[in-house]
Amino acid sequence: MESKKAVRDFMLCILLGFAVYIPLVCIAFLIAERLSLAVFFGALYGSAVMTLYYYLFARATAKAVEADPETVKKRVQSAYSLRMFLLVIFMGAGVFLAVEFGIFHWLPLALSMLVPRATVAAYQALNRKKSKEGDEVGN
């Protein structure tokens, strides 16, 4: 049960990052006078692919923690291989659709790969700051 809560909390952090990212990308392209539907679709598609990637990551990590130590390494490696395969296929399809048909803009699609790491880093920094403030209040 604890692993489901951890996966939910992690994914909430990722989804919050994308909820901020998509409007920011659209605003940036609007300021640059390059906003189009392809920009929005590129950001949305990239966000969906990376959400799937990190959901599979969180699930695999939660399941690996519950397993015995001998099988953990095998599970983590096989889950990583599957995630990378799916990432290459889906992002490759997105870039193909961007180049050939103009359905997506390639830049928001590519930038979406950076958002989860930045979001998690910001979340961890915020938690560290809160825990330091709590320690100072407790002293």
Q: For the segment 123-134, what is each residue's pLDDT rounded down to a tens digit?
A: 999 888 888 877
pLDDT at residue 139 greater than cutoff 60 = no
Please report which confidence band the pLDDT of residue 84 belongs to, taking 50, 70 and 90 as the band edges.
very high
If one compares 31 and 74, the residue with the highest pLDDT of the two is 31
From its phi and psi, is residue 33 left (phi > 0), alpha (psi between -120 and 50) or beta?
left
pLDDT band at 2 (very low <50, low <70, confident <90, very high): confident
Report d(CA 46, CA 104) in Å as an integer: 9
Coil, helix or strand at residue 35? coil
pTM score = 0.88
Mean of pLDDT over the chain: 91
Split at pLDDT 50, 70, 90, the class of 138 is low
Tokens of residue 69, six digits: 């130590």
**Least confident window among 2-6, 16-20, 94-98:** 2-6
Percent of the chain's residues with pLDDT above 70:
95
| Tokens found for residue 45 | 């598609």
